[in-house]
Structure 1
Amino acid sequence: MQFVVQDSESHLLIRVGEARIDAAIATQFKDRLRAIVTRATKPVHLDLQHVDFMDSSGLGAVIAVRKALPDHLPLVLQALTPNVERVFRLTRMDSIFDIRPATPQEVQRQ
């Protein structure tokens, strides 16, 4: 499981380095991320630019991570690939999550 965690003044950025978040790794993904975000004291931004595929298990893992955060701390999803964005749109989770494009700094790092 590959994560890069960066703590900025305004938020905690977690970059996911996996190409797939599916049933094979969803539980491990959820457990590792929950361990990180339960210590968060500011909003969490989850960068999914490298994730090309997410199934319902992966979606459930992201939802579980959101539920692990205190209510006052948002989970922002950023830089979703078209396939992953489609999963959120088809399940109407795009109306629940704050989904943002990659920032100019993120685009430069790609």
Structure 2
Amino acid sequence: MKYQVDKQERYSVFTLDEKNLNSVISPQLKSEFVFLRNEGVRNLIFDLGHVDYIDSSGLSSILTAHRLWKDYGSFILTNIKSESIFNLIEISKLNDILTIVPTLEESIEYVFMEDIERDLVEEE
């Protein structure tokens, strides 16, 4: 599996450099998500800009990441360019569960806004 992780202070960007997110890649991807969560990555942006196809195993790995970050920080899908991926997410009704942001820049802004909101809630 080819990928890149760009770690910043408030977030990390995981860019999958593969055309297909399927049963061949999914187990290793889940392991990487668990590793990043255990390392203390609070906000993970998953960049799907290179991905053209996702199968049910790929969706499962995305849902695993969603569960890992649900009560810890943010998990954001971004840069989805494939119409078939959007359709799969909608058909699966995951668009109501997952945070999907159009661009990487907007995803980073989203992380900062979520952190500000969390800080305000913690102060109350």
TM-score class, shorter: 0.7 to 0.9
Computing the radius of gyration from Cα coordinates, the structure with the larger value is 2
SS in 2 for 1:51: coil
Per-residue deviation, 1:104? 5.8
Moved more, 48-57 or 28-37: 28-37
TM-score by length of 1: 0.83
Task: Find out whether 1:29 has 2:43 as its counterpart.
Answer: no
- What RMSD, in angstroms, separates the aligned Cα atoms of the two structures? 1.9
Question: SS at the partner of 1:58?
Answer: helix
* Unaligned segments of structure 1, at least 5 residues: 106-110
1:89 Cα deviation after fit: 1.0
Residues of 2 paired with 1:11 and 1:46: CA distance?
11
2:79/2:101 contact within 8 Å kept: yes
Aligned twin of 2:90: 89
The 3 A distance-change label for structure 1 pair 31 and 41 is closer
For structure 2, the residue ranges without an aligned partner over 5 or more in a row are 107-124
User: Could you tell me whether the CA contact under 8 Å between 1:38 and 1:69 is conserved in 2?
Assistant: no
Of Structure 1 and Structure 2, which has the larger fraction of its residues in helix?
2
User: Number of residues paired by the alignment?
Assistant: 105
Percent identity between the aligned chains? 21
Contact 2:42 2:69 in 1 (8 A): no
What residue is the counterpart of 1:108 in the other structure? none
Letter in 2 for 1:67: R
**Equivalent residue, structure 1, for 2:120:** none
The structure 1 segments of at least 4 consecutive aligned residues displaced by more than 6 Å after TM superposition are none
| TM-score, reference length from structure 2 | 0.74
8 Å contact 1:44–1:75 — kept in the other structure? yes
Q: Which residue of 1 aligns with 2:117?
A: none
